[in-house]
Structure 1
Amino acid sequence: MTSACEVNFDGLLGPTHHFGGLSAGNLASLSHRHQVSSPRQAALEGLAKMRRVANMGVAQAILPPQRRPHWECLSECGFTGERHEVIKQVAKQKPKLLSVAYSAAAMWAANAATVSPSADTTDGRVHLTPANLRTMPHRRIEAAPTTRMLREIFADSRYFVVHDPLPDAANFSDEGAANHTRFCQRHADRGVEMFVYGREGEADDAEGRFPARQTRLAAEWISQQHQLWPQRTVLAQQSRRAIDAGVFHNDVIAVGNTSVHLVHEHAFADQASVLQELNEKFGGELTTLEISEAELPLEEAVRTYFFNSQLLSTGETMTLVCPAECERSDAARKLIERLLAETNPIAQCEFVDVRQSMRNGGGPACLRLRVVLTDKELAAIPPAILWTPKLHQRLSDWIETHYRERLSIADLADPRLADEVEESLDELGRILGNKRLIA
């Protein structure tokens, strides 16, 4: 019998983590715009979460930060020449562009790619499609570096296929695994993959409060190039009500793991039909835990990021890893207590403090990309990126040495920041033993 495990690839928060307020529809990002951030605290919080997950017995790996500023972005906008002078010119003429170029949003690895395990694909390989993230300029710059990094990690063509990102066109807008959920009996079993989209085509959401980022065409394209069985694939549309409440990705309103689906009642358009199709295609005991608006209003779900918790298989039961904000919310805390008291696979809850990420618009689930791997597939990826206590200590020391305690929007204009980032990421490449992992 084939065995497989889920590996959580967490984005290591980068040294230019700042509150740019660049993400339309992301209420946390917008509400903390231009406040002073702490890159050091952010990275240490993310690292501590990785240790918590690893100590639960879940395989854990890291995805390194991308190099910043993104010089190609600045060059394409007409800023060329000596790098220190470029930064000064951009800061003076287009400060928002400098914030875009320094974005550390690649830390939210749930947007890095969509992943289909080998059990689900007709060629028996793991398929990954890096997200083009074309809706937001500060995320769009991640696509090419992410593709290079994933091809370095998943390089063995016997086991892996890393596709190109989808075309950079409005009809193909793709936000990665944040809009993708896989259901199965065991990780090694053939699963049902659900793709969630916000709009059909280019401009059919023009009247909405916030943009719908994922398109149906992107979801269809990915499911086909991943060689999935149509009878085990579900396409579901986000509800406009949820998007306008600040649910910019499906993982802000629903989370699934193996045979459990935890979902708000307003997650999908025509929700009853979506859940029925999912149950029929799953063909077994799918536990659907549908949370009502009365128990957890959409506004509170978005504020606390309850559904952006990690739902993890830990032994014979599951553990919900929630942001600490849920513990401080009466509604979310009572919901968690009810779920733990009732008969369902969720038996434990742990609260993690990822405050810096939360203020910028991403909770525990945003910070990780889930990849199901067999033993042979796991052995084929670089061991240097797999979490160990030794790597944890080396990364912690590296962060303490290289990351600023405080970073303001005005600090982005300091040319020395670019030098600091370059030095720190060169050192990270040496720690990991492979500079090509730093895209």
Structure 2
Amino acid sequence: MMSDLQLNISELPGPTFMYSGLSKDNVAAIQNKHLTASPLKFAQLSLLRMQLLLEEGVPQVIFPPHRRPDMQTLKSCGFTGDMHNTISRADKFSKGYLESLLAASSVWTANAATITPSADSEDGKVHITTANLSSHFHRSIEASQTHAKLARVFACDKFFSLHKPLPSHSSFSDEGAANHMRFRVPGENRGLNIFVYCNDPDSPEYNQGRQTLWASKAICQLHALSDTRVLLQKQSNEAISRGIFHNDIIAMNSHDLLVFHQNAYENHGSLIEKLTALGICCVEIKAEEFSLEHALKTYFFNSEFVTSKDGDLMMVMSKSCQYDAKVQAQLDRIKTAYNKEIKTMYVDLDDSLKNGGGPACLRLRVQLNHEQFAAIPSRFLLNQNKLDALQEVVMRFYRQSLSYEDVFTTTFQRSLQPVYAQLEQVLGWDLY
């Protein structure tokens, strides 16, 4: 049966959203470390993006933000007592430790899991593996809550097979769908899955990047993918060393289109040859026309492909791309090469970009057929009433500005649990 719709899973930014610079390989996050953040502005812009996608007919599930600070992790390290004392003690222990426990980084749901459609698996099920995110502490503590949320959305075991995170070790470091691309073979139901990795634990050069070959291979086995439906592709060392920490910030794809930077991959000739032979349109962006630095500046390659309400392919792009001459020149090239209608939508995601995440980082895409989609509990699906209610909660509870010093105030600490409870109620979740 055809996988003929795309479900987007996004998350509302949490009220503790800050610029903590916790990922040392993330250029934007480091450059903007300790800027004063606006959780209110980021949440409002995220809701606007969801609104625009809803108007285009894109089905969406919205996760409530992970509760922060992560009290369970605090307790596991010996920090007990009320929130005020616990936070003060954790700050004395390590500022970076406390910042990690406050991080709202789960908003970038492209890292939540890897999902492959039923058309590609030998058992005919949609397979989901929750990412362990073991390369960075602040993200590794997301895995258990993310898995619990995915278990509720994909509860129907007739259609879905949800796998726990891989072993939480550097050899199995897994960053989810940000390093996975799926193409539909034209004229057929089956697809081709490309898993992009940075590190091979068996290689003497195993020293940089987040996604490992072991993790990608393990996911292929868990998802019952035959070798004929999988390609494993090494990301280039140059890209990794220049701050390209995920595939989805140097390449983007729809079901029949790949757009990639010239320096994205090691020895990409055979990859492009195979895709072209299958009828996939491949557009290579030359380094002399578009540098890796410009890719990080604009997050052009992190644009999001969706199907518009008219049935056309649509690129959802950051506003940083709208008036950029180099981006627009490459966009013209892509449209010419693809030779089909490509619409564009520009969204303001400045707050996300400052932390190293564009439109595609903010969604986990799931290819489903209509029977599988009907098995998703309707209470989790976004509608206009939920959007309006979320806007009210955000306006009531979220701060216009937030710095690290603010988290020690009693007023802020007391506001956290009520806002999480309100958001979970509006979104139909019963996590606690």
Scaled to the shorter chain, the TM-score interval is over 0.9
Aligned partners of 1:159, 1:60: CA distance in 2, in Å? 18
The 1:362–1:203 alpha-carbon spacing in structure 2 relative to 1, beyond 3 Å, is farther
* Cα separation, partners in 2 of 1:104 and 1:404, compared to 1, 3 Å: same
Of the structure 1 ranges 11-20 and 415-424, higher mean CA displacement relative to structure 2 is found in 415-424
- 1:359-398 correspondence to structure 2 within 5 Å: 359-398=354-393
Corresponding residue number in structure 2 for 1:349 = 344
> How many Å separate the matches in 1 of 2:385 and 2:323?
33
Partners of 2:248 and 2:360 within 8 A in 1: yes
Q: Distance in 1 between matches of 2:295 and 2:360?
A: 14
Aligned to 2:75: 75
CA RMSD across the alignment: 1.9
Change (3 A) 1:274 1:381: same
Using the size of structure 1 for normalisation, the TM-score is: 0.94
The question of 1:432 aligning with 2:427 is answered yes
SS in 2 for 1:78: coil
User: Could you tell me which residue of structure 2 aligns to residue 307 of structure 1?
Assistant: 301
Shift in Å at residue 85 of structure 1? 0.6
Aligned length: 431
Partner of 1:276: 273
Q: CA deviation at 1:51?
A: 1.6
- Give the residue type in structure 1 aligned to 2:33: R
Q: 1:340/1:419 Cα in 2 relative to 1: closer, same or farther (>3 Å)?
A: same
Runs of 4+ in 1 over 6 A off after TM superposition: none
Distance in 2 (alpha carbons) for counterparts of 1:390 and 1:80: 39
| SS state at 1:178 partner | helix
The answer to whether 1:418 aligns with 2:416 is no
Distance 1:292 1:160, change over 3 A: same
The Cα offsets for residues 266-303 of structure 1, whole Å up to 9 and x where unpaired, read as 111111122224445xxx31100111112211110111
- Residues 73-98 of structure 1: per-residue CA shift (max 9 Å, x gap): 22233322232211111223322111
Deviations along 1:339-387, one digit per CA (max 9) or x if unpaired, are 3355533522221101111111100000000001121211111212222
C-alpha separation between the residues in 2 aligned to 1:126 and 1:393?
32
Higher mean displacement: 76-85 or 134-143: 76-85
Instruction: Work out whether 1:290 is the aligned partner of 2:284.
Output: yes
What is the CA–CA distance in structure 2 between the aligned matches of 1:118 and 1:395, rounded to whole Å? 33
Would the aligned equivalents of 1:63 and 1:109 in 2 still touch at CA under 8 Å? no
Counterparts in 2 of 1:168-183, with a 5 A limit? 168-183=168-183
- Structure 1 gaps, min length 5: none
- Asked if structure 1 preserves the Cα contact closer than 8 Å seen for 2:69 and 2:101, the reply is yes
CA distance in 2, matches of 1:188, 1:93: 57
Alpha carbons of structure 1 residues 2 and 231: separation in structure 2 relative to 1, 3 Å: closer
TM-score normalised by the chain length of structure 2: 0.95
Asked if 1:233 corresponds to 2:240, the answer is no
- Among residues 253, 263, 267, which one is paired with 2:264 in the alignment? 267
Which residue type is aligned with residue 215 of structure 1? T
Counterpart among 251, 254, 259 of residue 254 in structure 1: 251
Deviations 1:305-333 (A, max 9, x none): 00000022334531111111112422112
Residue equivalent to 2:158? 158
Structure 2 unaligned segments of length 5 or more: list them.
none
Percentage of matched positions with identical amino acids: 36
Work out whether residues 159 and 377 of structure 1, in 8 Å CA contact, stay in contact via their aligned partners in 2.
yes
SS at match of 1:80: coil
Q: Distance in 2 between matches of 1:33 and 1:123?
A: 46
Are 1:16 and 2:16 counterparts?
yes
Cα separation, 2, equivalents of 1:212 and 1:346 = 36
Is the Cα contact below 8 Å between 2:181 and 2:193 reproduced in 1? yes
